[in-house]
Amino acid sequence: MIQDVDHVMLLPLYAAAGTALLVLVVELAFGRFHLLAGMLGGLATAVVAVAVPAIVSARASEPLGPARFAGTLCRDDLCSWTVTPHAALMTVLFAGLTVGVLALSAPALRRGYAPPGEFSFLLTCAMTGGVVVAYAGDLITLIVGLETLTLPLYVLVGLRRVRESAQGAAAALTFFLVSVVSTAIALLGAALLYAATGALHLDALVAGAGVYAPLAAVGAALVLIGFAFKVAAVPLHAWAPATYDGAPVPVAAYLSTASKLGGVLALVAVVQRLDTGPLLAVLAALTMTVGNLVALRQTRMVRLLAWSSVAQAGYIIAPLAAGAAGVQAAYAYAVFFVLLEFVAFGVLVALRGPGSDGGDLEDYRGAGRRHRWLGAALVLALAGLAGLPPGLAGLFAKVAVVESLITSGYGWLAGVVALNAVIALAYYVRVGALLYATPALTSAAAAASSSAAPAVASAAPPATKSAPPPSEAAASLAVVDPVLLDEAVSSRPVVSRAVAAALVVAAVLVIAAGFAPQAIFDALNR
């Protein structure tokens, strides 16, 4: 059977795939300009994604919206590629996150921590997979897109020229093994759904099940479990903290935002058409509770954000328990979450410097005093994730989720969301307070004060009966003004222009979303 192909509708895919090819050609031809090519291609992909729905609507003289979509690669009324405003918005997010992560990675790549050509090519390939997920209209296209998004990340997690430890390789292997298992489970579920319904298109998954309805239910559960791996939902979450902490911080940012967004889109595509409400409600309650409780005990910054990301996944999938009625709330929360999470990881990259890991929580003590704008940006992100002002975007997202659950008859799950939001305050506030806490006497400060102690003793008048030992002098110097001493001896990483630009744009978007959240809701409701 020959299917008509509307190449205009496929333009976002062509732009994303063309970006990956452009980066590859630039690497082979010039050996430089990889980052520039990737960023320009990402921006072009976002522009094309916004333009295509307008072009399709103009040709049909009817606007696209929830009740109408356009598609290509169709059989009858079932299409494998669907053009909707939702798909355009998500493609813009994938492209923006790719450009942002390239900007965060620029300083480390310039210093040779990883091969820039391979890094940029793999990241733009992952963007291509995200675009396919956004527009997928059948299970096969959806799973292929999700794997195209995920496969390059296996390599990116462990892609380093300088290997200080085997942690990156172990994280990449863990991510690979878990993801392969999840893909096998999802494919088995898709096969069972096809056997029960005779269709793979998302709009025909339930039709025709008949006596095979139990088989279709098993297939739907397996597909749901396979996709739940991608969003790190409990009990399918164990890979996330180790992988995030072992990956370079910009790659961890991409895992926590774009990769999770792809998993959410896959879940939304399935659950709004299948009856999986009870299973999703249990998964959501477990995910947010376990994520928040374990985050309370973390001492490393990236692991804390990883467990926080697990809990946030629970908030995102909670409204999906209501099926199609909760899709808009889940989309809105996902949009706000990825913006806030990107700001948090971007500040970590700026504070820690190129090629450094996320460090321990104590490494951030007093960082807000030394770097006021970076501290303010991290507080904004943490407040948004906690659902507190000034992070109004996160507050409105949580309100949308709770309202959706109460309206759909899941009041008990709304109560679980509210309780977990209170639990999460403990570690978000702890990190925010640590940024402005009085600095402890660091090893550098101790060394500086110890070296200064003999000078103090030698400068004392000869008539002094006894001089304090150097250790006591050091302690007295540390007590007099620990903040001044910390500022004098602490290193101040230079924030590159690319990292600063990415942070500024992301922070502005977060603030704009907080003051005008209705624009996001309107875009998702079109």
Tokens of 333: 């929360």
- Give yes or no for residue 478 having a pLDDT over 50: no
Q: What does the pLDDT read at residue 35?
A: 87
Q: Which residues contact 470 (CB under 8 A, 6 or more apart)?
A: 450, 453, 454, 457
Give ∠ CA 446-449-454 in degrees, rounded to 5.
Answer: 130
Q: What does the pLDDT read at residue 358?
A: 81
Q: What does the pLDDT read at residue 453?
A: 47
Q: What does the pLDDT read at residue 274?
A: 75
- Give yes or no for residue 360 having a pLDDT over 60: yes
pLDDT in tens, 98-131: 999 999 999 888 888 888 889 999 999 999 999 9
Q: Which residues contact 433 (CB under 8 A, 6 or more apart)?
A: none
Mean pLDDT of 408-416: 89
- The verdict on whether omega for the bond into residue 235 sits within 30 degrees of 0, i.e. cis, is yes
Least confident window among 52-61, 234-243, 251-260? 52-61
Chain center to CA of 29: 33
Rounded distance between C-alpha atoms, residue 219 and residue 196, angstroms: 9
Q: What does the pLDDT read at residue 39?
A: 93
- Give yes or no for residue 523 having a pLDDT over 80: no
Q: What does the pLDDT read at residue 64?
A: 58
Rounded distance between C-alpha atoms, residue 139 and residue 116, angstroms: 34
- Give yes or no for residue 463 having a pLDDT over 60: no
- The band of 419, judged by pLDDT with boundaries at 50, 70 and 90, is very high
Q: What does the pLDDT read at residue 41?
A: 93
pLDDT in tens, 40-87: 999 999 999 999 888 877 776 655 555 456 777 777 777 888 888 888
- Give yes or no for residue 91 having a pLDDT over 90: yes
First-to-last alpha carbon distance for the chain, in angstroms, is: 34
Q: What does the pLDDT read at residue 101?
A: 94
- The band of 356, judged by pLDDT with boundaries at 50, 70 and 90, is confident
> Could you tell me the pTM of the whole model?
0.86
Fill in the DSSP letter of residue 257: I
Q: What does the pLDDT read at residue 175?
A: 85
Mean pLDDT of 453-480: 49
pLDDT in tens, 124-175: 999 999 999 999 888 889 999 999 999 999 889 888 766 655 677 788 888 8
Residue 70 φ/ψ, nearest 5 degrees: -110, 155
Tokens of 269: 């595509």
Supply the angle between the helices 116-135 and 34-60 in degrees, to the nearest 10: 20
Rounded distance between C-alpha atoms, residue 422 and residue 24, angstroms: 47
More confident call, 460 vs 154: 154
DSSP bridge partners of 201 = 138
- Give yes or no for residue 95 having a pLDDT over 90: yes
- The band of 454, judged by pLDDT with boundaries at 50, 70 and 90, is low
Rounded distance between C-alpha atoms, residue 179 and residue 185, angstroms: 10
259-to-97, 105, 207, 255 alpha-carbon distances in Å? 10, 17, 31, 5
- Mean per-residue pLDDT of the chain: 82
- Give yes or no for residue 317 having a pLDDT over 70: yes
Torsion on CA atoms 418, 232, 500, 506, rounded to nearest 10: -50
Q: What does the pLDDT read at residue 505?
A: 92
Least confident window among 197-211, 217-231, 324-338? 197-211
